[in-house]
Structure 1
Amino acid sequence: MTNKLIFIYDGECPFCNKFAELLELKSNLPEIQIKDARDKPSELPKDYDIDIKGALLIKENKILTGYEAINFICSQIKAPSDALLEVIKIIFRSKKRSKLLFPILLLARRFTLMVKGVSIKL
């Protein structure tokens, strides 16, 4: 991968936060920048609803959202140095599995944020 990637996620979501942490520390993806949307909501595209679409990936001025963003990232991970990231990579490098499972992750995110007392909206 030669082009810079920007991954923007919800830092209050423990699932998103763990994935972002693993990407940053264990993925061996040298050209990925990780940003918490709650720290810099102005970096999200205008009218982007992270609650509906999920995390996003900016790649060569193209925006991938939700399952497509996670699927692309997982397809780029070649040799993660973490067992959990290896499992995530195996599951989400399949577009079909990503599309099927991502809505469940969004529901888990909403539920967890509600339990924590954190707004699901940014």
Structure 2
Amino acid sequence: MTNKQILLIYDKECPACHFYCQIVRIRQSVGELVLIDAREHPEVLQEITAEGLDIDQGMVLKMDGQLYYGADAIHLLALLSGRSGVFNRLNYWLFSSKKVAGILYPILRSCRNLLLKILGKTKINNLKQEDNDRF
């Protein structure tokens, strides 16, 4: 067993992202998956943005100091996941192929962006821009 923490940074206000992050599981032997809402942790968001990554366009997985973004993050999660439960087996089946993850992730991201628009949710980077505009 290991105490290694693997961070999954995502937008908790997106129902689809939140559902995925709540249900995905990784094998205990890999480490502990820690969910981080990018809206509530500006220091983590700043680190991601400094690396040129846009949290509104993809979730981020941080493991061993390395950042994995978007399709790479979901692909790695699939490889790290346990195979117990229907969701985790489906997740592995869909995203264990880097090529398939690269094809499906942009489609899922577009659906996410549409869902946020329908729900009237502000994108995270828009919030950051609004804060900067006030000063």
- Counterpart of 2:123 in 1: which secondary structure? coil
Larger Rg: 2
| 3-state SS of 2:124 partner | coil
Question: Larger RCO: Structure 1 or Structure 2 (Cα < 8 Å, ≥ 6 residues apart)?
Answer: 1
| Residue pair 1:51, 1:121 contacting (<8 A) in 2 also | yes
The number of residue pairs the alignment matches comes to 117
Residues 110 and 84 of structure 1: is their aligned pair in 2 closer, same or farther, counting only changes over 3 Å? Answer: same
1:107 equivalent to 2:89? Answer: no
Of the three residues 51, 60, 75, the one matched with 2:56 is 51
| 1:67 equivalenced with 2:65 (yes/no) | no
Q: Deviations over 1:72-112 (max 9, x none)?
A: 011011333x3123212210111010000100111011000
- In 2, the alpha carbon distance for the partners of 1:32 and 1:46 equals 18
In the TM superposition, what are the counterparts of 1:1-122 in structure 2 within 5 Å?
2=2, 3-23=4-24, 27-30=25-28, 31-44=32-45, 45-47=47-49, 48-52=53-57, 54-80=58-84, 82-122=85-125
> Which residues of structure 2 form unaligned runs of 5+?
126-135
Quote the offset at 1:29 in angstroms: 3.2
- Structure 1 residues without counterparts, runs of 5 or longer: none
Aligned equivalents of 1:75 and 1:46: distance in 2?
A: 22
Runs of 4+ in 1 over 2 A off after TM superposition: 1-4
Q: What SS does structure 1 have at the residue aligned with 2:109?
A: helix
Cα separation, 2, equivalents of 1:75 and 1:15: 20
Indicate the percent of aligned positions where both proteins have the same amino acid.
Answer: 29
Corresponding residue SS for 1:119: coil
Determine if contact 1:49/1:121 at 8 Å carries over to the other structure.
no
> What is the alpha-carbon root mean square deviation over aligned residues?
1.8
Native 8 Å contact 2:26 2:77 kept in 1: no
TM-score by length of 1: 0.85
TM-score w.r.t. structure 2 length?
Answer: 0.78
